[in-house]
Amino acid sequence: MKVTVIGAGFVGATTAQRIAEAGLADVVVLDVADGIAKGKGLDLQQAAPVVGHSQRILGTGDYSDCADSDLVVMTAGVPRKPGMSRDELLEVNAKIVTECMEKSAEVAPNSMVIMVTNPLDVTTYIAGKVTGFSKNRIMGMAGVLDSTRFRAFIGMELGVSGEDVSAMVLGGHGDSMVPMPRSATVSGIPLSDLMDQESIDKIVERTRVAGGEIVSLLGTGSAFYAPAAGVEQMAAAILRDEKRILPVSVLLEGEYGLSDVYLGVPVKLGAGGAEQIIEVTLTDEESEALKASAEAVKQVVAEYEAMVG
């Protein structure tokens, strides 16, 4: 198997590391700054004998090296700065995504695509439009990231392993995301049996702003360990045909009463990419929150369409 990671920054390089060290595939790390891509690729390859894997890792600035990739992971783009919203990244990152997706689709026409570049749901829309790939082959990694943050915060508050926490976040990757505490459990125990509503509400709010919290702490740059871990989980589900049910940004065409919008919902991931959208029963409040999140994404998409004419 072969995976191309576009972008050799912190997210891209860490993603390449996780995929290679998990033994999922050979990895090509591509960046317009080919020296950085080549240097990080070589560094990762030199670590392989110690880590103990046999995957090949190549850093490059040439799209021909990405030919026939099974999976393309798009991480390239300008990161958020303190005080900057994801949506403010739109103009510059839309151009980057358009160029990269056009070139990768030419050399890897049968690939699956996982989008990471922000604003996530909108760049996933752009990738689908630019490549013309079927909707099962274009996915955005955000629900997995937002959900693992939600799980981590629950585990931290309760003093238990986050691995035992099952929780999901739906909707757009931004302030309008929809954490789902009603269905959250710890080893099968409902969250409401373990935590009062005030504590739950605080965790929900912290989850919504978790990315911004890291941006403000770092000062420059944004999160990369957790996003890379989210990509690895999605990549494993696809490359190993695991049939995992994960929250993924995909094109909705009537599901949840929503259409023509990429939004995070539960999806079965396997060799066919986004093989099935799972529709769960929502309360009226959850349904309204999901619709509001969809409208927020559509508004930014409209801004993009107006920008490109």
The rounded distance, in Å, linking the Cα atoms of 209 and 203 is 10
The H-or-E segment that residue 42 falls in is helix 34-51
| Crossing angle of helices 90-107 and 120-131, rounded to 10° | 40
Can you spell out the DSSP letters for 86-151? SGGGHHHHHHHHHHHHHHHHHH-TT-EEEE-SSSHHHHHHHHHHHH---GGGEEE--HHHHHHHHH
Do 245 and 266 meet the contact criterion of CB atoms below 8 Å apart? yes
Question: Among candidates 127, 149, 148, which has minimal Cα distance to 139?
Answer: 127
Q: Token digits for 299?
A: 């508004």
Q: Token digits for 292?
A: 């509001």
Half-sphere exposure for 63 (CA within 13 Å, toward CB)? 13
Look up 173 and say whether it is catalytic.
Answer: yes
Do 303 and 185 meet the contact criterion of CB atoms below 8 Å apart? no
**Nearest 10 degrees: Cα torsion 108, 114, 120, 122:** 50
Question: C-alpha 151: how far from its chain's center?
Answer: 16
Catalytic-labelled residue, pool 2, 173, 208, 268: 173
Half-sphere exposure for 32 (CA within 13 Å, toward CB)? 10
Distance, first Cα to last Cα, the chain: 39
Catalytic positions = 173
